[in-house]
Amino acid sequence: MTAKTLNSLLYEHVARIGKALSSPKRLELIELLAQGEKSVETLAAQAAIDVRLTSAHLRALREARLVETRRDGKYVHYRLSGADVAELWVALRQAAEEHLIELRVALERIASHPEALAGESRESLLAKARSGEVIVIDVRPQAEFAAGHLPYARSLPLDELERRLAELPADRSVVAYCRGPFCLMSDEAVRLLRAHGYRAHKISDGVAEWSMHGLPIER
Amino acid sequence: MTAKTLNSLLYEHVARIGKALSSPKRLELIELLAQGEKSVETLAAQAAIDVRLTSAHLRALREARLVETRRDGKYVHYRLSGADVAELWVALRQAAEEHLIELRVALERIASHPEALAGESRESLLAKARSGEVIVIDVRPQAEFAAGHLPYARSLPLDELERRLAELPADRSVVAYCRGPFCLMSDEAVRLLRAHGYRAHKISDGVAEWSMHGLPIER
DNA sequence: CATTCATTCTAATAACCGTTAGATTGTTTC
DNA sequence: GAAACAATCTAACGGTTATTAGAATGAATG
């Protein structure tokens, strides 16, 4: 009797984490936080959620101990409580991709295939980036690049890409990446680069996926 | 606009999985199913949940594609949709253990420390089990043992343990395991064995944890 | 010290979820 | 084909959660 009650208490605790992961908006906030710490305002803007609702969702994540806060003057910066939280998000997303056909279909519709860099391992891409054979560009906002990025990558935020095209040598192949498979910025970047005559591809990895596979992240 | 809408649809799909993982009872059902496929009746009995409520929760899990069914006469057998579902459950549980102090406290209270086998790696335990230096016993119900168990383990269900003690040589050290860290059967077994003069310990691994660490499972 | 701005709190509504109990479906057994 | 049994479906309740809007807090700025 007592043992039964105590035992079900354990599951209740774990369910608190599950509950925190049960809202699409909270998942989007987690993905954004996986790119580095951000203020409530920034999160609200980037996820296109009302600031007050964003605050409420962050509260829920904080009560599940998935995020922590740091006050800096007027701003409160949120960050994930650990790398394992980003890994949990990726694991959840991968399980969804594996079992929900609807999700796979939706993904294929949105992130069109031809942009993807096919048949190249992370390791060989890393080697090519090191040698300069390909140029890896990080098209996320600069702050996210600063918080951690792929080795040898250059920061070239999507909204600056067009007017900074001159920085990219026209004879080199370009590989773009952004926040992860759900992020469309790298697709947009590839489209733009190709329209200007570049040989461009994307990889769907974000820093969380990259680092989960044992590869290094630079700061 | 359209991109935004499509993008948030992706998160909604993943949140379906999160939602399925947001109920303590469903988590308990997943843990039970990680031990092998089971009928609704069995699940209801083992989780101590009303059959009709169990059926409703299984429905939710099925709609999230985390479980699949197979009809065999009067019985409907449920099973996890894949090994990754068990791994997701373990990852979720580990994240909870890492971040929710309350859970760690509750765990320490329930599963008392001295029973645990400390300072031994899975590999060295496996070697000792192979050589016969220790006897590994699986105290789960026989059906779960049959569905998959640790190498060199003997099936010795907790409720048969006392009357089958003679099967265990008194001069050998015994290591018991059950469904995982939330399962108290191995603790109970250790207590019983020690009361009868055996040198006994438990490991908190279940088959899911064992196999997640790259170690083999026998069938 | 008043103003501005970021964030949080409060209150209220609507939608959803867990649970229970009763009725129903589908399969086996006699 | 009737009875027994496993599982599911339906309806209803009570509680929780997401969302919105308005008010309040807390820090920086002039």
Q: Over the stretch A197-208, which tens digit does the pLDDT of each residue have?
A: 999 999 999 999
pLDDT at A3: 43
Strand partners, B135: B174
Q: What is the pLDDT of residues B180-206, one digit of tens each?
A: 999 999 999 999 999 999 999 999 999
Mean pLDDT of A148-156: 98
**In chain B, which residues have their Cβ closer than 8 Å to the Cβ of A64?**
99-100
> Which value, to the nearest 10 degrees, does the dihedral of the CA atoms of residues B174, B179, B180, B185 take?
-60
Which of the two residues, B147 and B7, has the higher pLDDT score?
A: B147
pLDDT at A151: 98
Mean pLDDT of chain A, nearest integer? 95
Given phi > 0 = left and psi -120 to 50 = alpha, else beta, which region is B153?
Answer: beta
pLDDT at B2: 39
Q: Please name the residue that has the structure tokens 């949940």.
A: B49
Measure A75 CA to D26 C1' (Å): 11
Query: From the CA of B186, how many Å to the nearest CA of chain A?
Result: 14
Least confident of A86-95, A116-125, A141-150, B113-122: B113-122
| Mutate: best of B6, B9, B12, B17, partner A, most A CBs <10 A | B17
Q: What is the pLDDT of residues A44-94, one digit of tens each?
A: 999 999 999 999 999 999 999 999 999 999 999 999 999 999 999 999 999
**pLDDT > 90 in chain A, percent:** 90
Going from the C-alpha of B77 to that of each of A6, A191, B24, B62, B112, the distances in angstroms are: 28, 49, 21, 12, 34
**pLDDT > 70 in chain B, percent:** 98
- pLDDT at residue A1 is higher than 60: no
- pLDDT at residue B10 is higher than 50: yes
Mean pLDDT of B30-34: 98
Mean pLDDT of A94-104: 96
Q: Which nucleotide is nearest to B40 (CA to C1')?
A: D7
- pLDDT at residue A181 is higher than 50: yes
Whole-structure pTM value? 0.94
A85 part of contact set with chain B, CB < 8 Å: yes
- List CB-based contacts (under 7 A) with strand C: A 39-41, 44, 51-52, 55-56, 58-59, 69, 74-77; B 19, 22-23, 25-26, 50, 52-53, 56-57, 60, 71, 73-74
Going from the C-alpha of B205 to that of each of A213, B87, B192, B197, the distances in angstroms are: 24, 13, 19, 24
Going by pLDDT thresholds of 50, 70 and 90, the confidence category of residue B54 is very high
pLDDT at A2: 39
Which of the two residues, A159 and A5, has the higher pLDDT score?
A: A159
Tokens of A58: 């962050």
Least confident of A115-119, B121-125, B204-208: A115-119
- pLDDT at residue A135 is higher than 50: yes
Tokens of B60: 């939710």
CA distance A194 to A211: 28
Going by pLDDT thresholds of 50, 70 and 90, the confidence category of residue A191 is very high
- pLDDT at residue A115 is higher than 90: no
Tokens of B177: 């395991």
pLDDT at B3: 43
- For chain B, give the number of residues: 219
Query: From the CA of A85, how many Å to the nearest CA of chain B?
Result: 7
Record: contact A82-B98, CB cut-off 8 A: yes
Please state whether strand D lies within 7 Å of residue A60 at its CB atom: yes
Kindly report the backbone phi and psi dihedral angles of residue A139, in degrees, each rounded to the nearest multiple of 5, phi listed first: -95, 10
B183 is catalytic: no
- Alpha carbon A184 to chain centroid distance? 11
**Chain A contacts in chain B segment 89-148 (CB below 8 A):** 91-96, 98-100, 102-103, 106-107, 109-110
